Amino acid sequence: MLLFTLILCFVTALAITPLIKMLAYKIGATDNPDHRKVHQVVMPRLGGLAIFMSFILGVLIINPSEHFHLPIIDLSTTSIHLPIVIGSFIIIFTGICDDIIQISPKWKLLGQLVAAIIVVVVGDIRLEFINLPFGGQLSFGEYLSIPITLIWIIGITNAINLIDGLDGLAAGVSAIALFSIAGMAVMMGNPYVMVMALIVGVSALGFLVFNFYPAKIFMGDTGALFLGYMISVLSLLGFKNVTFVSLIVPILILAVPILDTAFAIIRRLINKQPLSSPDKSHMHHCLIRIGYTHKQTVLVIYLMSAMFGIAAFIFSQTTIWGSFIVLLFILVAVELLVEKIGLIKEDYKPLLNFINARKPMKSKYKNL
C-alpha cells in the first residue's frame, strides 16, 4: 500500500504540474527577471501547488498508523495529523497569495506564525527539554518551549525559501532532507514521520522533473513555504525531547538551508544592512561567481546536502566522543567552504590564510 501511494504521488505531481503551469500564466502568477535573479525570461510560479495536491492525495489514501506496527514515539497520530494538515493549508494559502499578488513580508510571516501556532498549541508539538551529554537535563518549561518551537518552524520554513534561487535547488535539497528524515525515522521506530516524509519527498521529485535546469516552472513561495513547513514539523516530530547530541541530527540534515540563512544574517550584520534586505551572496550565487555553471552549482549543493545527510546518520550512531569528533570535522569543513566561496565576504579567509602561512614555514624547515 505504501509503495503504491508513493508511486501515485509521484505520478500525480508529474501530471498536475503542466496544468499548474498553464494556470499560473492565466492568473498572472509569474516571476519577472531582475538584477538579483538568474533567469532571463518571465517564468510561471505556483508550482508548489502541484506538490501540495499530490501530498493531500497521499495522506487521503494512506493512514500511516494502520499499515505499520512500530510504536510512534511519545505521540498519538490522531492528535497531531489534523493540526499538521490544517497548518499546511494555511501555509499554501499564504504562498499562493504571495505568488499572485506578492504580499508584504509581515503578512507572509503572519501566515507562517498562524500555521506554526496551530501545530504547537493544537497539536501539542514542542521541544520541551534536552538531555545533556554528560548528565542532567536542560528543561525549557511550558512557556519557553512554545517560542523555541515556533522559532524552529518559522526559521526552517524561511530557510528553504531563501535557497530557492536556482532551477531545481529548493525542490532537490528538500527531497534529500525529507528522505534523510524518513531514514532516521525508520531507525527510531517512527512510522508516522517516515510515511509523511516519503509522501512529501516523492511529490517534490515529481515536480522536480519540470523544475530541474532548465526549469519550465518555479515552485514559488507556494512550494518553498510548504516544503519548509513540512520539513520543520517532521524533523521536530522525529527528534523532540532527545539528547543534546541527537538534537544535532536534524540540524545536520538541514545544514545547507540553515547555513545559508545563518551566514546571510551574519553577512548583513557585518555590512550593516537590514536583515530582510536581499542580496546576491547566497551559497548558489557564490558558487556561480567562482566559475560553476547553473547546473553544476545545483548538483554541487545536492551533493553537499546528501553528505550532510550521511553525516547525520554517522553522527547518530557513534559514541558521545565520536559524535564530537565528527562535529568538529564538519565545522572545519564548513569554515573552509565559507572562506573558499566567499560566503561572508570575499576577503574573509582566516583559516585559509593560516594554512597558507604554515606552508612556507614547512618548506623552510624541510630545506634545513
**Residue 85 corresponds to which cell in the numbers above?**
494538515
Q: What is the mean pLDDT of the chain?
A: 84
Is the CB of residue 210 less than 8 Å from the CB of residue 46?
Answer: no
Q: Which of 184-188, 295-299, 330-334 has the lowest mean pLDDT?
A: 184-188
Does residue 72 surpass a pLDDT of 50? no
DSSP state of 189: T
Annotated binding site: 161, 221
Q: Give the integer Cα–Cα distance in Å for 58 and 198.
A: 10
Nearby residues of 165 by Cβ (< 8 Å), 6 or more positions away: 37, 38, 282, 284, 285
Annotated binding site for Mg(2+): 161, 221
Does residue 181 surpass a pLDDT of 80? yes
Sorted by where each begins, the domain ranges of the chain are 2-243
44: three-class secondary structure by DSSP? strand
Q: What band does 135 get if pLDDT is binned at 50, 70 and 90?
A: low
Does residue 140 surpass a pLDDT of 80? no
Q: What band does 300 get if pLDDT is binned at 50, 70 and 90?
A: very high
**Residue 99 corresponds to which cell in the numbers above?**
505568488
Cα angle 273, 162, 105; round to 5: 65
Please state the rounded mean pLDDT for residues 111-137: 80
Give the per-residue pLDDT at 210: 95
Nearby residues of 354 by Cβ (< 8 Å), 6 or more positions away: none
Q: Note the pTM of the prediction, 2 decimals.
A: 0.85
